[in-house]
Structure 1
């Protein structure tokens, strides 16, 4: 385990604004070639929340460490949720809209228990509850429950904010489990190891086997030179 431990310092600053329940939110799978994009959301009670030893951004932890933290995070949180958007949805609506779908599915799950007063979202772009833009999403999906709390974006929140780091762990563990299951259904791509990310061996497997139904078909998948207009692939998460 490396890196300075995240704290509740930033979260507790929301007490001055009269907030009690605060959600940390983070995504994983953004840069993968296959599988869903997954969003975790962890709600804490600012009136009683304590620190939680061992939690870091999921990328800084080994798989056994993440797995061991899941039940501890679930007991620690006032509420939590994990949501997914499939590869087919990413192809249909684009990555940002798919992140919104996944995030609001996590929101719907968490708010069965507690409704957060505000959300801290890792990064600098509010894909969770963007300013309404007419019918941009209307023809794609109508979400029964959508985040209507104020969203505060914060760069490197997964490294600094304990609730966001905890959300990243829940999302990472659940997505990894999905990819291990998909690996049994679609053998040969190495998803039990690469979890759908753009490793050289994964690209080579796509060259040989072709894409599966869990691949993001609108992305550059194999090892061939990208065609004009094909989306770039991000790393991490």
Structure 2
């Protein structure tokens, strides 16, 4: 079955509800072992024309096709941006908080404030739970626009599909650059995701600064290392104790 082409039907319907400036938003890199998580945002308004031909969810396009789409999307969009959260931030804050962080960083780059964000999926990771509904408190921190979640929005909504393309191309470029400094892991090809080449390199070289060390794989490996080190230290201590006992004069032992 041929995937449906994204259109502006959803965006037009929401504009009739009064949301003039609509932002499509999508993330890439959530499940990777290394590199940032990235969030793209593309804003359309009532004057926005039909999306450039060929724009699809980034997963359905070849790398070359995605690269060709970027300048077309930038000319087409009312506004656009990509935000990132690093591997270190993911380790410190967790992936959901970093999706929110990358999304708010993308929004902060825009020269407009969207009336509504269309978010791919069924979970609103953009809105800070501490500032939502009955749980809202305080006035500190950025306030995100209202969010409308939609399953398969990247296949239905032109703005979301375009956002996924921008985020994917920008993050892929970052991983290609990181691969020059850390060539063992094959990031120019696997873009930080799990694959045999990446996993074999991790077994041989261990993780680097760009890896998400809080991920279960690394946490388990770290636990094994700590256990092994403690075992060696215990053996060394036991051996030293026996050696001390063997060298102690008999009169000191009685």
Q: TM-score interval w.r.t. the shorter chain?
A: 0.7 to 0.9
Residue 66 (structure 2) aligns with: 66
Partner of 2:78: 78
Q: How does the TM-score come out when normalised to structure 1?
A: 0.85
State the match for 1:129 in structure 2: 127
Please tell me the root mean square deviation across aligned C-alpha atoms, in Å. Answer: 2.2
Q: Relative to 1, partners in 2 of residues 1:101 and 1:11: Cα closer, same or farther, differing over 3 Å?
A: same
Indicate if the aligned counterparts of 2:51 and 2:76 stay in contact, CA closer than 8 A. no
Runs of 4+ displaced beyond 4 Å = 224-227
Q: How far 1:46 sits from its partner (Å)?
A: 2.2
Segments of 5+ residues of structure 2 without an aligned counterpart are: 224-254
Name the counterpart of 2:246.
Answer: none
Distance in 2 (CA, whole Å) between partners of 1:133 and 1:164 is 24
More deviation, 148-157/169-178: 148-157
Aligned with 1:89: secondary structure? helix
Tell me how far 1:148 sits from its aligned partner: 2.6
Higher relative contact order (CA 8 A, sep 6+): 1
Aligned partner (choices 186, 191, 201) of residue 187 of structure 2 = 191
Q: CA deviation at 1:221?
A: 3.8
Corresponding residue for residue 174 of structure 2: 178
The 5 Å alignment of 1:1-237 reads 3-110=3-110, 113-132=111-130, 146-221=142-217
TM-score by length of 2: 0.80
Contact 1:20 1:47 in 2 (8 A): no
Rounded Cα–Cα distance in structure 2 between residues aligned with 1:55 and 1:30: 22
Q: Rg: which structure is higher?
A: 2
Distance 2:164 2:40 in 1: 6
